[in-house]
Amino acid sequence: MGTTVRLRQEGADRALPPLSPAITQLNRLVELFRAMNAFNPDTVSEARLKQLEWVAGELAIAVPMGLSETAGESLKDLLAPEAVKAYLSLGRGGHLRTMATVDTDLTSVDASERIRIYCLETFARHAKVPFETPSLPGWALRPTVSARFRDVISQHLQLEAGKWPEVDRPDAIVRGLAMWGVMCDTLPRLGELESMRLQDLTLTEESLSLAITRQPQGGLRGKIAEPEIAQLSEETAWLLSQWLERRAGLVRQLQGGAPTHLWLSTPPHPDAGLPIKRRGISKWYWKVANAVQIEQDAAGVPEADLVPTRWETMRRTLLAERQGAEADSR
């Protein structure tokens, strides 16, 4: 006997009929992605898994609405152009929401539609069914901020580190200095920072370099990326050497196999010595930026000049600065 799924939308119960064959197949595919994430988060990240689950949930709501005459019969029919167009239209109009909202405008944003399309492509690719990719909405990047904020954060980290003799500095401080240096030198996204490994480092007599695999973005999603070799500054190389010594001490305390990730959690975190997740990296940057904002606020710095609390905003600023310098040098 089929079960009836009940969802809440805009404060009212809404019952869905038993799952169609298409949604049953889709749910099996989502279970596969969950297994892939559990086995190796580098293949399907936590963030991507949540997006896939979200789109699968929307499709379960949309199929009974009548995407097409055959949309519920199979996953192939569900991902056919007519059904996809109808689904995106419902999603864009805010008709697939499952939670109450105080916003009077229920229409979905461009970023949500891009995520829907990327997830549909992923479903089709893994299910090996035909898929015609709809046109993606244009990109509208958030405004960047002043590049001098990089120096403000660097000074804050150095002042914090200066509160301890070098040998007594907490591992978190040593890691933070090294990680900030790598972030400024290589401008990685959080997922790229999380996936860095020891074997990505190459030390020569002249320099220290890091192989970084950029995650394909926009229309390049799903493509296989080639590692990019980034040269690290002398200061970052020195800070990184300090962290590698501390890292070795953390690994020695572990039982079992040693992780190969470059960045590990540090005491007093209960998972000290284990790889730090992108959420942990994001939280670390937020804490640093928030502490700097408190200092700026006490100094009377205008709100518009406060450091950003999102690394992505800072990353885009530094990237724009670097690209501008490269253009001027040509």
Residues 176 and 305 in one domain: yes
pLDDT of residue 146: 63
Q: Is residue 219 part of a domain?
A: yes
Sign of CA dihedral 308, 225, 31, 194: negative
pLDDT of residue 42: 73
Name the residue with tokens 């804490």.
Answer: 287
Q: Is residue 31 part of a domain?
A: yes
pLDDT of residue 108: 61
Phi and psi torsions of 15, nearest 5°: -95, 140
Residues 220 and 74 in one domain: no
Q: Is residue 52 part of a domain?
A: yes
- What is the distance between the alpha carbons of residues 109 and 230, in angstroms, rounded to a whole number? 35
Residues 158 and 122 in one domain: no
Q: Which residues of the chain have pLDDT under 70?
A: 1-17, 98-109, 138-147, 205, 216-225, 330
Residues 165 and 278 in one domain: yes
3-state secondary structure 138-149: CCCCCCCCCCCH
Give the CA angle between residues 179, 36, 266 to the nearest 5°.
Answer: 25
Sign of CA dihedral 102, 103, 105, 106: negative
Q: Give 288-296 contacts, CB < 8 A, sequence gap 24+.
A: 288/153, 288/156, 288/157, 288/176, 288/180, 289/153, 291/156, 292/152, 292/153, 292/156, 295/156, 296/152
Q: Is residue 132 part of a domain?
A: no
How does DSSP classify residue 299? T
CB 214 within 8 A of CB 191: no
Domain that holds residue 160: 149-329
- What is the distance between the alpha carbons of residues 207 and 132, in angstroms, rounded to a whole number? 47
- What is the distance between the alpha carbons of residues 44 and 39, in angstroms, rounded to a whole number? 9
Q: Is residue 197 part of a domain?
A: yes
How many domains is the chain built from? 2
Residues 30 and 176 in one domain: no
* C-alpha closest to that of 241 among 178, 171, 163: 178
Q: Is residue 142 part of a domain?
A: no
Q: Is residue 135 part of a domain?
A: no
Residues 51 and 174 in one domain: no
Residue 177 sits in a domain whose CATH number is 1.10.443.10
Give the CA angle between residues 146, 150, 152 to the nearest 5°.
Answer: 95
Name the residue with tokens 């089709």.
Answer: 124
Spell out where the chain has E strands.
5-9, 12-16, 201-203, 208-212, 228-231
Under 8 Å CB-to-CB from 2, ≥6 apart: which residues? 17, 18, 19
249: tokens are 């001490």
pLDDT of residue 223: 54
